[in-house]
Amino acid sequence: MTDLSPEQKRDLEAAAFRRLVAHLRERTDVQNIDLMNLAGFCRNCLSNWYREAAEDAGIALSKDESREIVYGMPYAEWREKYQTEASGAQKAAFDTKRPADH
């Protein structure tokens, strides 16, 4: 593996994160419950991790602000435009696989 400086590693990780967020913004057809059931995380998790990183850095960031960073719009607007009602099967799978912190 190529030796990366801490700055290079940080910059590459940041670029990968931005690409993931952009991808999730484009894939509005993929519901958060699907992400949770398949991968154990969703857009809300990303926004929580972002907010926690900000707090660790001494930066105050609200839940709504961090969600807007990930969703690209206020969360309520995204839900209204793109969120669909979860099916019974999706809800059952979520209840079975739900992480302890959800």
100 pLDDT above the threshold of 80: no
Sign for the pseudo-dihedral over CA of 81, 42, 56, 5: negative
Q: For residues 46 and 53, is the Cβ–Cβ distance under 8 A?
A: no
- What's the Cα-to-Cα distance from 69 to each of 4, 63, 95, 101, rounded to whole Å? 28, 10, 28, 21
* Tens of pLDDT, residues 2-22: 899 999 999 999 999 999 999
Q: Is-contact 50 59, C-beta < 8 A?
A: no
- Which pLDDT score, from 0 to 100, does residue 102 have? 66
Q: Which two tokens stand for residue 43?
A: 């857009």
Phi, psi of 3 (to 5 degrees): -75, 120
| 71 burial type by CB count under 10 A (0-12 exposed, 13-18 middle, 19+ buried) | buried
Give the pLDDT mean for 73-96. Answer: 96
The model's pLDDT over 47-66, given as tens digits with 9 standing for 90+, comes to 999 999 999 999 999 999 99
What is the rounded CA–CA span in Å between residue 4 and residue 35?
Answer: 31
